[in-house]
Structure 1
């Protein structure tokens, strides 16, 4: 591992573990985790899926809008690496998507059309409970090396710990309640992104960046900002103006 990459890994875990101290925003932490994966691993982007109390997977975080849409497509078509990983509880690593065209025909077509050539998935688990999966998407064919796979699994463990933060034991009912709350917050996030996208003529990735920047600049949980936007107690133009002011202040 190079010194630069080792430093990046250390910084990522410092940020993620610091986020677990006291009260924290689960969506913000999980979104940051997918971004860290895309930056640290030999992949282009990452997405995170969680299961609700019925065992149905939902997209909770993604490092890009293209990845989020691909994860949604995977769930709608009920085929793809993250579903296989969730069902088996074991990592899935596909160095070339073309090798799985007969297994996941619709998913492979959508993934390659989106510019991806390889895909990997690791499970999120707490003891025997499989909570979801972390999907990793590469823009070129190739297997992840052992170091990257181990790091991806470690980051997935951090996400799992975040979901039971404050609980002495991984109680299934408590986990289910936390997952339900997280999924509701994710739905609000998509509404807020859509609002900023419409008002500011931004794409969804840009809208999310503006949203996160506003939350961080004002030291407000991301979910609180999204709720305020959705319920119109915070004007979208105020959030957009904040981003414009930050850009103007930069040399």
Structure 2
């Protein structure tokens, strides 16, 4: 695939009033943001992308991925900070090897150095991730009491392992993610953690379809297509999955990015 398919990594975004604040205040704002799930219009898909964004903003990493699993089910990717890391995460799941799979199975954080010789532990994963400029990976489980729900995958581009302070913060973000899923179930006694995970896994598919549709229609890259779709959902206060379905169904049309061939304005049937 040509290098132009992967634009340079954008600076991590910061949600809401945390923009421009010192790191300590951004940590507090992130934990509050992740805890704010007791609302009627909770959007699981958007929530997991916010988890990845907070990891990008607060930790010394180049990319982040969030994986979840249904009880006794396989891991599935539900959010990624870039198209480049999304493809690596999907490769890891297909190969059934890598730090994420091991961290989930062993219920313990895993560090993996991608430099030097190919690791005999995960040779295919190492060979796949290294050419994209990553130097190491830290994977930490997302746990809810005694149940492991998924894994946070943190990819670094600079030499050296994740600092201990960042490892502890990654653990706190993973715990906040798990607690938020538990909190959401109190809105409806008939909703369960399993239902939340099922929703996230199903909506991931339609979001990828809409992203691919916009990429092909506007001749842009997948990251740009996704960021525009997500910005539109936020601006109009639409669930991300609902907007994705409307885009695929043709009931909503997003105007192409500036500098491309003009198309119809945003419409809704």
- Normalised by the size of structure 1, how large is the TM-score? 0.86
Asked if 1:102 is matched to 2:120, the reply is yes
Q: Which residue of 2 aligns with 1:248?
A: none
How many residues align? The count is: 237
Contact 2:70 2:194 in 1 (8 A): yes
> Are 2:43 and 1:25 equivalent residues in the alignment?
yes
Q: In the alignment, what sits opposite 2:32?
A: 14
8 Å contact from structure 1 (residues 49, 132) kept in 2: yes
CA distance in 1 between counterparts of 2:34 and 2:72 reads 28
Shift of 1:100: 6.1
Aligned residue among 61, 82, 102 for 1:84: 102
Measured against aligned partners, the alpha-carbon deviations of 1:30-57 in whole angstroms (never above 9, x if no partner) come to: 1111122112101101001111244201
Q: Are residue 118 (structure 1) and residue 136 (structure 2) matched?
A: yes
1:118·1:138 contact (CA, 8 Å) conserved in 2?
yes
Alpha-carbon distance between aligned partners in 2 of 1:53 and 1:84, rounded to the nearest angstrom: 17
Residues 182-223 of structure 1: per-residue CA shift (max 9 Å, x gap):
111000100011111111111111011101110111111111
- Aligned partners of 2:34 and 2:176 also within 8 Å: yes
CA contact (8 A) 1:47 1:68 kept: yes
Partner of residue 128 from structure 1, selected from 146, 155, 160:
146
SS at match of 2:238: coil
Provide the secondary structure at the position in 1 that maps to 2:237.
Answer: coil
The alignment status of 1:36 with 2:54, answered yes or no, reads yes
Conserved? CA contact 1:196–1:207, under 8 Å? yes
Q: What SS does structure 2 have at the residue aligned with 1:103?
A: coil
Say which is worse superposed, 150-159 or 14-23, in terms of deviation. Answer: 14-23
- The Cα of 1:166 is off from its aligned counterpart by 3.2
What SS class does the counterpart of residue 60 from structure 1 fall into? strand
Aligned-residue offset at 1:84:
0.4
2:252 counterpart SS class = coil
**Is 1:150 matched up with 2:168?**
yes
Q: Which runs of 5+ in 1 are unaligned?
A: 245-251
**TM-score for the superposition, normalised by structure 2:** 0.81
Distance (Å, rounded) in 1 between the aligned partners of 2:44 and 2:130:
31
Q: CA deviation at 1:241?
A: 6.6
Q: Is it true that 1:74 corresponds to 2:74 in the alignment?
A: no
Report if the CA contact (8 A) 2:37-2:184 is conserved. Answer: no
Secondary structure, aligned partner of 2:22:
helix
CA distance in structure 1 between the partners assigned to 2:106 and 2:126 by the alignment: 20
Q: Return the alpha-carbon distance in structure 2 between the equivalents of residues 209 and 191 of structure 1.
A: 14
Q: 2:78 aligns with which of 29, 39, 60?
A: 60
Q: Which of 175, 178, 193 in structure 2 is aligned with 1:160?
A: 178
CA deviations over 1:73-130 (Å, ceiling 9, x no partner): 0011111000000000001122455466111111001110111010001001111100
Q: CA separation in 1, counterparts of 2:38 and 2:27?
A: 17
Deviations 1:210-249 (A, max 9, x none): 0111011111111111121122221244xx479x9xxxxx
CA RMSD of aligned residues (A): 2.3
